[in-house]
Amino acid sequence: MSPSELQAYLHAHIPLSAAMQVEVAAADWNRVLLSAPLAPNINHRETVFGGSASALSILAAWSLLHVRLRMSGIASRLVIQSNRMDYLKPIASSFSARSCLEDDDQWSRFIRLLERHGRARLAVTAELLGKEEVAGLFSGEFVALGTGR
């Protein structure tokens, strides 16, 4: 799945991503990098609204699993089960979120469970970036449900 295909998918299926003006800078097996401008995501302090920062991080993490499942030819519904967002510093410019698997070795176990039981869980992390500096840290658990469930 190319970055432009992922961006079109997000904007069509997750309308918040379009409202936030999310752009997909990179999307491959190892990472997804999303970015968004400040203007539609600004708060009363002229910095990025915490909800937008969290949403971009969730979208980046969710997108990584979405891309991997698509590349693996596995149809499933993917939902977030739980997450934690730590805000380290305010961002007063455009911002981005870069996701990766918390433990890359868990991918094969995740796929086996999904194929065997129609359900599997996996942890994904993301760094929230402002001007190339880490401004927040996200971790989340996502659940994939096979299409038969």
Residues in the chain: 149
Q: What is the pTM of this model?
A: 0.93
Statement: residue 46 has pLDDT above 90: yes
* CA 17 – CA 121 distance, rounded (Å): 24
The model's pLDDT over 56-107, given as tens digits with 9 standing for 90+, comes to 999 999 999 999 999 999 989 999 999 999 999 999 999 999 999 877 789 9
In this predicted structure, what is the pLDDT of residue 147? Answer: 65
Token duo for residue 79: 């939902």
What's the pLDDT tens digit per position in 7-41? 999 999 999 999 999 999 999 999 999 999 999 99
d(C-alpha 11, C-alpha 102), whole Å: 26
SS3 88: coil
Cα 57 to chain centroid, rounded: 5
Which letter, b or e, does each residue of 25-34 get, where b requires 16 or more Cβ atoms within 10 Å of its Cβ? eebeeebbbb
Q: Name the residue ranges covered by the structural domains of the chain.
A: 3-146
Fold of 3-146: Thiol Ester Dehydrase; Chain A (3.10.129)
Residue 148, CA distances (Å) to 34, 60, 65, 74, 145 in order? 31, 26, 19, 12, 8
Is the pLDDT at 149 greater than 80? The verdict is no
Tokens 């936030």 belong to: 20
